[in-house]
Structure 1
Amino acid sequence: MITPAFELTQDPDFLTIKIRVPYAKASEFDIYFEGEDFKFYAKPYFLRLTLPGRIVEDGREKASYNTDEGTFTIQLPKEVPGQYFEGLDMLTSLLAPKKSRSAKPLVEEMAASAELSEENEEEFDWEMEQIPYEESIAPLQHPYGFGNLRSGVFQRLQDELSDVIDIKDPDQTPAEERRRKRLAAEAAKFEPDHYLADFFEDEAIKHLLKYKPWWIDAHKKMTALKGESHQEHDSSAFVVFSEEEREQMRKFTNKSYLLDKRSRHHVYLGLIDILLAYCYEICVNEGDKNVESSWNIRKLSATLCWLESFSSIHDVLVSFGRRVLCYPLYRHFGLVTRAFSDTVMILQLGKAAVLKCLLDIHKIFMESDPAYILNDLFITDYCIWIQKVKAKKLAALCESLQKTTLSKSHMGLELEELEAAAVLVQEEEKALKAAGTVSKQQLLCSESETSDSEESSSTSSSETEGSDSDEQESSTSEDGEINSFQGRLQEERTAPLIDCNGLRQGTGTSMEGGDGKSKVAFQSPTPPGKLVEELEMQIHSAMRLSEQPEGLATAGCISQEQEESPVPKPDRFSEDAAGKGNFLEVSPKPNPLLFLCSTNEDED
């Protein structure tokens, strides 16, 4: 708490206490007095005095507040009229708390002491340490506030106002250093991820941009009437003040502002900065007020937050744009341009519309603790000053604002490079996803083709194995004798087989059956040269058999009977490629004639 500047005077009947509390919230203050005790509280000021005489509350006490000077004047009746209080100029002794004259009881009831302690916790601690106020002798060189007319405010209120402004020790900080520190703080606060998230996922922001505050309809009506009559119309016809706003204006103290040319320039530019922040707040909250409204306005306005003094309209727009992209919840450049267009509409509507917005800001700050100090520094003076501004000057300010351009490259945050890089990353991710999908499809197709080929090959092999097994079973069931010699004869493919006509049935030759339709195909690994030699030897043997005596006629009869007997069923059947004819694969079987011929040759 801050001990305010105060002084005490007296007359025979009253003790007068004058307390200077500039920038205090005058609507909320407490005064307590009884006997020799006097206590005063108006945040952030606190004063406790031990008076040299007794005062009394009898209905004659009075209190008044001077808004221009920021002082409370309190008259308190003396308990004994005509009594003279000594030592009223001894301020240090008056600030000292009155010492307790009663000893603590040795025995006390615990329940009662517990209740008493709870009551004491709820009460204000009146026994805090106080430091006498001392006026600053050396004039401060770095003013601020409306028109740069204030100084020294934050010298003693810095602890209370640390949540209101960002600049530390503004009384000792030049304007150039404030600007340099502000730019550095904004650059450190900027988060590319947050900005890109709002840039790509902007559904909520598009919804907010559709909101239409009251000045849009008022501006449409004014534009329509201007188009019909081609005359200027008073903006009061489109801007209506509520009773609450009228009461606010009645509470203001009328004053005149002696501003030089440079100060007036700062005031106009500060007005644009404050209106931009207000338009952003109205847009993102869709006209509703919440606990963040005060923070949004003062945080986005460098005039309020950094006590900035701008030199051009372009600097104002750049500062506002940077702060929108660094601090609030929604950080989108579309909100910057929307606030810009709304501010132009408000200025075109005239000073009545500007005053209505300033009154709303004044109310928001008054309901926010400790942002009410900004009303004393800026907003109250703006509300009084704007009512005396000439309409032509406000129109010229609006025209200059319309001619000013603002782009992302002006922000100094490399927004366009960030967006281009983010778009490139998105395209690469899409390309990778597409390539991954194609490769996955190709992999699936190749796997399916491989599985199909494996299935077909397994099917064909199984069919082949099945057909071979079926043919072997049919061969075995039809001819038991062949089945007994089949394994050995297949291994010895070179063994000669002689039919009844004396021709060798070997591989690589064909033979017509008894009906002339069936064909027999043989396959043999025997080389062609050996086959010819074996064939010649068998022919010679057959010729010798024809010259044998009658004793061997039996063999010839047996051979003839075998020739006239029906042709046995072939061992294996399979269709040719065209499916027209049947090929026979005859398993080699022993020919009894072969053995007979061999026996006769031995006998010869």
Structure 2
Amino acid sequence: MITPAFELTQDPDFLTIIIKVPYARASEFDVYFEGEDFKFYAKPYFLRLTLPGRIVEDGREKASYDTDKGTLTIQLPKEIPGQHFEGLDMLTSLLAPKKSRSAKSLVEEIAASAELSEEEEEFDWEIEQTLYEESAEGTLPLQYHYGFGNLRSGVFQRLQDELSDVIDIKDPDQTPVDERRRKRLAAEAAKFDPDHYLADFFEDEAIQHVLKYKPWWVDAHKKMMALQGKSHQEHDTPTFVVFSEEEREQLRKFTNKSYLLDKRSRHHVYLGLIDILLAYCYEICVNEGDKNVESSWNVRKLSATLCWLENFTSIHDVLVAFGRRVLCYPLHRHFGLVTRAFSDTVMILQLGKAAVLKCLLDIHKIFMENDPAYILNDLFITDYCIWIQKTKSKKLAALSESLQKTTLTKSHIGFELEELEAAAVLVQEEESALKAAGTVSRQQLPSSASETSDSEESSSTSSSETEGSDSDERESSTREDGEINSLQGTLREERTAPLIDCNGLRQGTNTSTFEVGDEKSKVSSQSTSVPGKLIEELEKQMQTAIRLSEQPEGLATASCILQEQEENRVSEPDRFSKDTTGKGNFLEVSSKPNPLLFLRSANEDGD
């Protein structure tokens, strides 16, 4: 028999069942309903449902068949008009036979038969013998349980190669819960990277961007809160969560079974559910609802329940473990993502088991598409999807209330985050102060340089003014005497002509350069200090120049004397200037004779 695809809806008076039976004959439809039981048969389809409320046959029932779509629509009146049937989206639980919870044969029959077959295997008499050693714990090694409700054991002995890439704990069958926790805490402490955390703490543009993303449960929660306080709020809550056709197909494929859990196991199951939802909310937030190759890794790595087979004892322990793993393993390690996942999980639990089931189905799909993470579906997620459909809504409401009252701070994480942030802020302030001091010093340096340049400009201006006054006096004197004008022309020719050393060789113009600015500054300093003496000296030089014009033979001698005096002068240390090319100091010698020295040497030679 084939279980057909079906869907249930309701209004205040009727329960509507839509069954997809393509290629079936309408004349062969057989429908039976009474109380909470509903049965449908049309070869080769068979459907049996256990309804969450009672229906009656009073003549108002209706049925219609759409041959084009192949769907049968049946409307059944409710026994109590206005009654709300809860859990119509929980298709797997609706397929369960009535009173199936008390049937002992439904409790892990497959696993029990597998263990029985292993025990009945023939003993190998050729096994290697060893000396007997008394064990303090007993004759048989202990095997610890794990998985949903701690109902599994011995799985890792058979699938160690496959599960080694899925979980972090090694040999969980021989590792007790307390030792798993100690190893997990040690691994997280070794993995924590302060530099990575501080980088995300100070440069959080990408993180602030993903925090703005709003998944589907945010809008659904707003609608639910808007209707809070109205008389039929509970009736309207399930309408906020809508399952897709793919999700309905997932629910139909699950094999219904019951779980006999004691109080402690149920406590572990609820806390493990919170841990898995926290990891899932982180994944949805950082990837903004899109799935990628890292989605499976994020969910299982951030959940200590899935990665370390952890059994939590309190909600606070769940939050601390999740916060530590967020700050150690994924790409974005920010405490704001921890608080965001915390608030999202509260919203999902407040929306009810339909929202929780929708998230679990998405996790189931993520793991199913990833190898070998699909093994986690067999250990946890599939059982959670079946179990949550039979969970009372009051239990989830109490769980969300307890979660909302729990607080988590950075000091609870255990990595000294607050001290680390305070130290980083101090370092940042010191660096800012050093940069500010460097900026001030750089600002002062150009100002002093500008003052120096201003003084140089002022001195050059005064020298240029003095030279201008001197040139005016010269021009006035040349107007009085025409011979001086002819002498100035001769001097200009001598300045532009190449120099001749004492050996009669012509001196190259590219061998050295003359510091014009230095000589001008010296002349200007002399003119500013004793302007009267300079005028008298210039008059004497002009008179001497007149006599030199009559003795051209003395020019070469004066040139040699000038060269010797220049060599003696530049030999002093203050005549060295720094080579800008970085090759050392070089000596600057004028290619043009100083007219003042030239006239003085010529005058001495003439006298």
Q: TM-score, normalised by structure 2?
A: 0.56
* Gap change, CA 1:470 and 1:395, over 3 Å in 2: same
- Equivalent residue, structure 2, for 1:283: 285
Give yes or no for contact 2:282–2:337 (8 Å, CA) kept in 1: yes
Secondary structure of the corresponding residue to residue 328 of structure 1:
coil
1:332 offset after TM fit, Å?
Answer: 1.1
- Equivalent residue, structure 2, for 1:415: 417
* Gap change, CA 1:159 and 1:301, over 3 Å in 2: same
- Equivalent residue, structure 2, for 1:164: 166
- Equivalent residue, structure 1, for 2:198: 196
1:231 offset after TM fit, Å?
Answer: 4.4
Mapping 1:518-597, distance limit 5 Å = none
- Equivalent residue, structure 2, for 1:297: 299
1:476 offset after TM fit, Å?
Answer: 7.0
Give yes or no for contact 1:347–1:354 (8 Å, CA) kept in 2: yes
- Equivalent residue, structure 1, for 2:213: 211
Q: C-alpha distance in 2, partners of 1:387/1:139?
A: 37
Q: C-alpha distance in 2, partners of 1:313/1:234?
A: 29
Q: 1:150 aligns with which of 152, 158, 163?
A: 152
Mapping 1:367-446, distance limit 5 Å = 367-446=369-448
Q: C-alpha distance in 2, partners of 1:474/1:236?
A: 112
Give yes or no for contact 1:222–1:233 (8 Å, CA) kept in 2: no
Secondary structure of the corresponding residue to residue 173 of structure 2:
helix
Mapping 1:103-122, distance limit 5 Å = none
Deviations 1:565-597 (A, max 9, x none): xxxxxxxxxxxxxxxxxxxxxxxxxxxxxxxxx
* Gap change, CA 1:241 and 1:472, over 3 Å in 2: closer
Q: Does 1:69 align with 2:110?
A: yes
1:148 offset after TM fit, Å?
Answer: 1.1
- Equivalent residue, structure 2, for 1:576: none
1:228 offset after TM fit, Å?
Answer: 4.1
Secondary structure of the corresponding residue to residue 255 of structure 2:
coil
Q: C-alpha distance in 2, partners of 1:399/1:458?
A: 86
Q: C-alpha distance in 1, partners of 2:230/2:316?
A: 34
Mapping 1:176-195, distance limit 5 Å = 176-195=178-197
* Gap change, CA 1:72 and 1:399, over 3 Å in 2: closer
Q: Could you tell me which amino acid in structure 2 is paired with residue 245 of structure 1?
A: E
Q: C-alpha distance in 2, partners of 1:90/1:68?
A: 23
1:216 offset after TM fit, Å?
Answer: 1.1
Secondary structure of the corresponding residue to residue 69 of structure 1:
helix
Q: Could you tell me which amino acid in structure 2 is paired with residue 199 of structure 1?
A: F
* Gap change, CA 1:244 and 1:476, over 3 Å in 2: closer
- Equivalent residue, structure 1, for 2:334: 332
Deviations 1:162-220 (A, max 9, x none): 11000111111111111111111111111122112211222221121111111111111
Q: C-alpha distance in 2, partners of 1:343/1:178?
A: 25
Q: C-alpha distance in 1, partners of 2:483/2:257?
A: 138
Deviations 1:119-160 (A, max 9, x none): xxxxxxxxxxxxxxxxxx946332111111111111232222
Give aligned-pair identity as a percent. 86
1:390 offset after TM fit, Å?
Answer: 1.3
Give yes or no for contact 2:281–2:345 (8 Å, CA) kept in 1: yes
Give yes or no for contact 1:281–1:293 (8 Å, CA) kept in 2: yes
Q: Does 1:358 align with 2:360?
A: yes
Secondary structure of the corresponding residue to residue 266 of structure 2:
helix
Max Rg structure: 1
1:466 offset after TM fit, Å?
Answer: 4.1
Q: 1:273 aligns with which of 265, 272, 275?
A: 275
Secondary structure of the corresponding residue to residue 209 of structure 2:
helix
Question: Which piece of structure 1 moves more, 388-397 or 227-236?
Answer: 227-236
Deviations 1:294-344 (A, max 9, x none): 111000000000000111100100110111111111111111111101100
Deviations 1:25-51 (A, max 9, x none): xxxxxxxxxxxxxxxxxxxxxxxxxxx
Q: Could you tell me which amino acid in structure 2 is paired with residue 161 of structure 1?
A: L
Mapping 1:50-65, distance limit 5 Å = none
- Equivalent residue, structure 1, for 2:47: none
Q: C-alpha distance in 2, partners of 1:145/1:476?
A: 116
Q: 1:467 aligns with which of 443, 466, 469?
A: 469
Q: C-alpha distance in 2, partners of 1:69/1:139?
A: 24
Q: 1:247 aligns with which of 249, 272, 282?
A: 249
* Gap change, CA 1:256 and 1:138, over 3 Å in 2: farther
1:227 offset after TM fit, Å?
Answer: 3.7
Q: Could you tell me which amino acid in structure 2 is paired with residue 350 of structure 1?
A: G
Query: How many residue pairs end up in the alignment?
Result: 362
Deviations 1:319-371 (A, max 9, x none): 10111111111111111111101100010011111111111111111111111
Instruction: Please report the RMSD computed on the Cα atoms of aligned residues, expressed in angstroms.
Output: 2.9
Q: C-alpha distance in 2, partners of 1:171/1:70?
A: 16
Q: C-alpha distance in 1, partners of 2:403/2:323?
A: 15
Q: C-alpha distance in 1, partners of 2:414/2:390?
A: 38
Give yes or no for contact 2:304–2:310 (8 Å, CA) kept in 1: yes
Deviations 1:476-503 (A, max 9, x none): 7648999xxxxxxxxxxxxxxxxxxxxx
Question: Which piece of structure 1 moves more, 138-147 or 188-197?
Answer: 138-147
Deviations 1:82-119 (A, max 9, x none): xxxxxxx9999xxxxxxxxxxxxxxxxxxxxxxxxxxx
Q: Could you tell me which amino acid in structure 2 is paired with residue 208 of structure 1?
A: V
Q: C-alpha distance in 1, partners of 2:141/2:238?
A: 44
Q: C-alpha distance in 2, partners of 1:372/1:479?
A: 115
Q: C-alpha distance in 2, partners of 1:417/1:436?
A: 29
Secondary structure of the corresponding residue to residue 396 of structure 1:
helix
Q: 1:342 aligns with which of 313, 338, 344?
A: 344
* Gap change, CA 1:476 and 1:224, over 3 Å in 2: closer
Secondary structure of the corresponding residue to residue 163 of structure 1:
coil
More helix by share: 2
1:426 offset after TM fit, Å?
Answer: 2.1
Give yes or no for contact 2:143–2:154 (8 Å, CA) kept in 1: no
Give yes or no for contact 1:235–1:353 (8 Å, CA) kept in 2: no
- Equivalent residue, structure 1, for 2:308: 306
Give yes or no for contact 2:148–2:269 (8 Å, CA) kept in 1: yes
Secondary structure of the corresponding residue to residue 426 of structure 1:
helix
Secondary structure of the corresponding residue to residue 165 of structure 1:
coil
* Gap change, CA 1:91 and 1:151, over 3 Å in 2: closer
Q: C-alpha distance in 1, partners of 2:481/2:359?
A: 116
Secondary structure of the corresponding residue to residue 234 of structure 2:
coil
